[in-house]
Amino acid sequence: MTTTRRDLLCDCAIAVLAAEGGRGLTHRAVDRAAGVPTGTTKNYFPSRDALLGGAARRMTRLHEQAVTRLRETTPERVSPAEVGELYPALLRRSLEDPTRLLAMAELYLEAVRRPAVRAELGRMAVANAEAGAGLRSAAGLAGGTRDAGVLDAYFLGVAVSMLALPAESLREVGLDDPYELGLGLFQAVVPGHAPTDTATVAGDAADHSSG
């Protein structure tokens, strides 16, 4: 898979967004980060909307590639518990290398005011939710794209909070244990939304409520 110059500029836009926020994202800043001549980013992405849209498209692509790799290395019949364990791992990764998550959060806030970013982000959110639903389906779990989308929204709020708040506050408000939180995210969308026709899910939910 080749990385084009356009991809490189998008990767740098993502890095700038994460490091400096929407405020720091200018065509010049991306030129500098990419080590290309001044004006290059403007040639590829004439407006700020185009640049933000390019960053969103690139994030969708990278996410799809990551999911494809994950599926290729996943046993054909993955267990519900194994899928559940993915969320603590994803959360830990977002905390250790928050670049993509922070860039995504910045894009969400830009999207509120910018229809072009909004449309691109909509495609990203659907692609992410479909990928999550695919994993659950591989484990024989109920719940489709809609449940996965709600989980993604919860995940965004938890990860942003964990990156933003001081450690002491995180302890007080129950946001200090990525393992427990990751499992909690996975379980949060199961009991209320999933139909009861899948024995695994129903049994799993029953275990917790009697716990």
Phi and psi for 42 in degrees, rounded to 5? -65, -35
Q: Please classify residue 165 by burial: count the beta carbons closer than 10 Å to its beta carbon, then call 0-12 exposed, 13-18 middle and 19+ buried.
A: middle
- Residue 72 or 197: which CB sits closer to its own copies? 197
Report in angstroms how near the CB of residue 5 gets to its own copies at its nearest.
26
Site for its own copies in 26-85 (CB under 8 A): 81
Site for its own copies in 125-184 (CB under 8 A): 125-126, 129, 145-150, 152-158, 160-161, 163-166, 168-170, 172-175, 180-181, 183-184
- Residue 89 or 126: which CB sits closer to its own copies? 126
- Residue 7 or 82: which CB sits closer to its own copies? 82
The residue with tokens 């244990």 is 177
- Residue 5 or 89: which CB sits closer to its own copies? 89
Sole window of 1-9, 89-97, 134-142, 185-193 interacting with its own copies (rule: CB under 8 A): 185-193
Sole window of 5-13, 28-36, 59-67, 192-200 interacting with its own copies (rule: CB under 8 A): 192-200
Residue 142: left (phi > 0), alpha (psi -120 to 50), or beta? beta
Report in angstroms how near the CB of residue 37 gets to its own copies at its nearest.
25
State the amino acid at position 39 in one-letter form. G
Q: 115-138 and 80-96 helices cross at what angle (nearest 10)?
A: 140
- Residue 76 or 168: which CB sits closer to its own copies? 168
- Residue 33 or 158: which CB sits closer to its own copies? 158
How wide is the angle at C-alpha 120 spanned by C-alphas 61 and 142, nearest 5°? 70
Site for its own copies in 76-135 (CB under 8 A): 81, 98, 102, 105-106, 108-113, 118-119, 121-123, 125-126, 129
Contact 84, 136 (CB under 8 A): no
Tell me the two tokens of residue 38. Answer: 């001044």
State the amino acid at position 183 in one-letter form. L
Report in angstroms how near the CB of residue 58 gets to its own copies at its nearest.
18
Contact 142, 198 (CB under 8 A): yes
> Binder to its own copies among 4, 23, 76, 96 (CB under 8 A)?
23
Sign of the torsion angle spanned by Cα atoms 99, 26, 56, 153: positive
